[in-house]
Amino acid sequence: LDAETDDYFGDPQGDILHDVRLGILDVFEQETESDPQLIIAVDASISMMCLCKAEPSRLRYNVPVEQCDGGYLAWQVAGILGKQYPESSIFAWTSRRRNPNAIVYDMPIGQRPVCRLHESRDAVEYMGNTPESDALLYAQSQLESNENSVLVIVTDGEPQNKSRSYGLTHAMYKAGTKFAVVCVGSYQPKLEEMHYPPATIMSIKSPSELSKVSQIFDLIRK
């Protein structure tokens, strides 16, 4: 899938730019030489739907019209973080639709997978389930050290193997990794029931809520 990528915006939305002008997101002015290692793991499962347009969600009925598909919001989150922290690592994870084995693919900053709904039907084969535990193992392999590291998980739901993910996240947390979990899209699990260790957790259902990403800036600076 590394050849099937295209540019995405990842630009702060209007309300974020407004906050920047007010000085609320003064993190944009900080030097990043001493920042911890940042890894951004983006759920690419079929439920994320459209990746390229801020359209009303087609996942559930009776949701506010401003809510978007998780895929679009997920890659906006990755874009905002990647622009601010260009040394970060971004990867997408899912499984093939007819194969339970996980697939993980690195994404250059400023790019995303091709949208399977609007850009290429060939990409559908790669958009399967949510094998998050395998994504965690891959993230662990990319860390130079758990200490002084931040893992951001961007997803729209719970993993296939919740107990395995629970064990992995808690082991990484005890070793020093800090976690942020960004739940995107119209369907979301109850945040209080998430299986992660102490983490910065936020819900983003529409572009107007992308300013919540500033919470991750605060986590990185700690």
Task: Give pTM, 2 decimals.
Answer: 0.80
- Residue 178: its pLDDT value, please? 94
Distance, CA of 181 to CA of 136 (rounded, Å): 13
The angle that helices 162-175 and 132-142 make with each other, rounded to 10 degrees, is: 20
Q: What is the mean pLDDT for each group of 10 consecutive residues in the chain (222 residues)?
A: 42 42 40 72 85 70 69 93 93 75 85 81 64 84 89 85 84 93 79 75 90 92 83
Residue 190 pLDDT? 67
Burial group, residue 145, by CB count within 10 angstroms (0-12, 13-18, 19+): exposed
CB 4 within 8 A of CB 113: yes
Residue type, 185: G
pLDDT for the residue 14: 44
Q: Helix, strand, coil % (nearest 5) of the chain?
A: 35, 20, 40
C-alpha separations of 5 from 25, 92, 156 in Å:
30, 12, 21
pLDDT at 55: 73
The reported pLDDT for the residue numbered 191 is 60
Which residues sit opposite 93 in a β-bridge? 43, 104
- What pLDDT is stored for residue 65 in this prediction? 64
Q: What per-residue confidence (pLDDT) applies to 13?
A: 42
